[in-house]
Structure 1
Amino acid sequence: MVTKVRSESVDVVVTGTIKTVSDTQAIKEAVLKAHTSHIDVPIRLFLQDSFIITSSLIGFLIKVIKMDHYALIVEVGSLELYEMLEDMNLIEIMNVRKASV
């Protein structure tokens, strides 16, 4: 996982498959740190490779977007993950986009 600070956003780039509790915890911590360090800059969470994500990560992302009002966009590189989130009606709720990178 890599965090890149840009003038228009803070990018949190996650490679590999997200499948363990520690994977999820690391992503949560990176998003929270990005928000705390750069409170006025949107966060873009890039899930480059993973075709699945844990339910606790989904819950966390919904919470920070809808309840805590983080400016956060989730970009997914896997069509399979995008379609799964679409089937769960989470595209709009979680600000999901197909990754352009």
Structure 2
Amino acid sequence: MDLVTKVHREHVEILVTGTIKTIANAQAIKEAIRKTHEQHPDAIINLMIKDSFIITSSVIGFLIKSIKMDKMNLQVNVGCEELYTMLDDMNLVEIMNVRKAYTCAKV
């Protein structure tokens, strides 16, 4: 998994490529979001999960907490239909501000 943060005028993109599967991957995502929010507290944070068809439960919990309790302006864009469907089946699309951005190739 790779992670790149891009700062724009009104928003910040956190681009995640590759599969999110380890504790270290989850920690890196959470730390990138925390750091971005500290440095740009009023910016919209767009978490772009480009390739992963899975997401760890700790990242899901962190995203829900960040949006609902910490009031971060956070949007999640998923590139794999399989991940979007999983989040939809769990009734998390609205809660986590999930949007489709299908670019992921089926393997």
Query: Do they superpose with TM above 0.5?
Result: yes
**Dislocated runs of 4+, deviation >4 Å:** none
**Alignment-derived partner of residue 22 in structure 2:** 20
Which blocks of at least 5 consecutive residues in structure 2 are unaligned?
Answer: none
Structure 2: distance between partners of 1:15 and 1:100: 13
**Alignment-derived partner of residue 5 in structure 1:** 7
Structure 2: distance between partners of 1:8 and 1:14: 20
Q: Please say if residues 45 and 74 of structure 2, whose CA atoms lie closer than 8 Å, have aligned partners that are also in contact.
A: yes
Superposition TM-score, scaled by structure 1 size: 0.97
Q: Deviations over 1:13-58 (max 9, x none)?
A: 0000000000000000000011000011110000000000000100
Count of aligned pairs between the two proteins: 101
What do you get for the CA RMSD once the two structures are aligned? 1.0
Task: Pick the aligned partner of 1:97 from 84, 96, 99.
Answer: 99
Identity %: 63
Superposition TM-score, scaled by structure 2 size: 0.92
Structure 1: distance between partners of 2:26 and 2:102: 23
Which blocks of at least 5 consecutive residues in structure 1 are unaligned?
Answer: none
